[in-house]
Amino acid sequence: MAGWPNLSELLSADHVDARVGFVGAPLAAGSVTPGRCDLAPQLLRQTLRRMGRYDVETGRDLQMEVADRGDVDIAGLSIEDATPIICDAVGASAVSHALTLLIGGNNAVTRPAVLGLGVPLGQVGLITLDAHFDMRDLDAGLGNGNPVRALIEDGLPGANIAQVGIAPFANSARMHQDALAAGNLVVTIGEVFSDGISGAVERALDHVSHCTLLVVDCDIDVIDRSQFPAAPGARPGGMAVRDFFAAVRQLACDPRVRVIDLTEWDPPLDSTDLSALTAARWVAECLAGFESR
């Protein structure tokens, strides 16, 4: 549209030398609540046309080109079979770009996002914006409800894990106890409300201050369900969407952040465009934070 610079203009497969890469990981297998999270990457690309590039708060246009590396070919695969493919895609993007935006798919993509960096896990920090601990048992295999437990089993220390936005009545006592026993930092949604989102993010960054590389997991169900209906795991009383945007921008500012994922967006659950526009704004916030490094 003439006179309407929009985010889609920044995304192209031709931008091979861009500092930011965009990888779709349309994983639907293993979801606690079956759905169509696999539809999210393509819908996000389409919705970027509706998101402008000018930030009236800062008086700046987003300028950062983004290399669209396409979607990984994982249709019909189990999480176990899809994981090495996603790992390879994240690794290739991380070699070529300073920041990779990994678009799920369900939350099981977070584990290959961490493993794909290809460095010892003691060097990697994980910050989650999530209503859930993702500490379900592994007895029945990998799922979207256990990537954090799986990473701990892989060797990621709890001292390297900060979980922000954990919701009441959405987790079990054992999950909470196991997260604390592992050494994870746990910041509940109540603490976010009382202390502010900026302070919550600072606590998370302080917890992983010894890590050289960071992965940020943005499970969209951290947002209050009324503000993001297309998240099957979201609850009433979740994070305000404005706090979610602020957290993403603040985290993307940190030069150690190499991957930010967006997970658990199930487009058919929202008959309006609210959820899609929120996801597109997430891209803008990631880029705004990155550009301020």
Q: What is the pLDDT of residues 199-209, one digit of tens each?
A: 999 999 999 99
Q: What pLDDT score was predicted for residue 40?
A: 98
Residue 1 has pLDDT above 80, yes or no: no
Concatenated DSSP letters of 96-119: H-SEEEEEESSGGGHHHHHHTT-S
Which residue in the block uniquely carries the two structure tokens 């070919």?
A: 73
Q: What is the pLDDT of residues 177-228, one digit of tens each?
A: 999 999 999 999 999 999 999 999 999 999 999 999 999 999 999 999 999 9
Which residue blocks in the chain are alpha helix, DSSP H? Answer: 40-47, 79-96, 110-115, 147-154, 173-182, 189-195, 197-207, 241-252, 274-291
Considering only CA atoms, which of 137, 138, 136, 204 is closest in space to residue 165?
Answer: 204
Q: Are strands 60-61 and 54-55 parallel, antiparallel or unpaired?
A: antiparallel
Question: Is the bond preceding residue 105 a cis peptide, omega within 30 degrees?
Answer: yes
Residue 176 has pLDDT above 80, yes or no: yes
Which residue in the block uniquely carries the two structure tokens 């993010």?
A: 201
Q: What's the CATH number where 230 sits?
A: 3.40.800.10
Distance CA 27, CA 107 (A): 9
The whole-model pTM stands at 0.97
Residue 2 lies in a domain: no
Q: What pLDDT score was predicted for residue 4?
A: 81
Spell out the residues 6+ positions from residue 229 whose beta carbon is closer than 8 angstroms to its own. 269, 270, 272, 274, 275
Residue 191 lies in a domain: yes
Residue 1 lies in a domain: no
Sign of CA dihedral 13, 19, 22, 23: positive
Phi and psi for 105 in degrees, rounded to 5?
70, 165
Q: What is the pLDDT of residues 63-122, one digit of tens each?
A: 999 999 999 999 999 999 999 999 999 999 999 999 999 999 999 999 999 999 999 999
Of the chain, the percentage scoring pLDDT greater than 90 comes to: 96
- Domain count of the fold of the chain: 1
Residue 237 has pLDDT above 60, yes or no: yes
Q: What pLDDT score was predicted for residue 31?
A: 84
Residue 264 has pLDDT above 80, yes or no: yes
Which of residues 165 and 35 earns the better pLDDT score? Answer: 165
Tokens representing residue 110 in the block: 């977070």
Residue 123 lies in a domain: yes
User: What range does the domain containing 265 cover?
Assistant: 7-291
The length of the chain in residues reads 293
Distance CA 110, CA 216 (A): 9
Considering only CA atoms, which of 41, 12, 9, 45 is closest in space to residue 28?
Answer: 41
3-state secondary structure of 185: strand
Of the chain, the percentage scoring pLDDT greater than 70 comes to: 99
Q: What pLDDT score was predicted for residue 33?
A: 81
Spatial contact of 264 and 37, defined as CB atoms under 8 Å apart = yes
Tokens representing residue 24 in the block: 């779709």
3-state secondary structure of 218: strand
Residue 2 has pLDDT above 70, yes or no: no
Which of these ranges, 132-136, 140-144, 251-255, 277-281, has the smallest mean pLDDT? 140-144
Spell out the residues 6+ positions from residue 241 whose beta carbon is closer than 8 angstroms to its own. 223, 224, 227, 228, 278
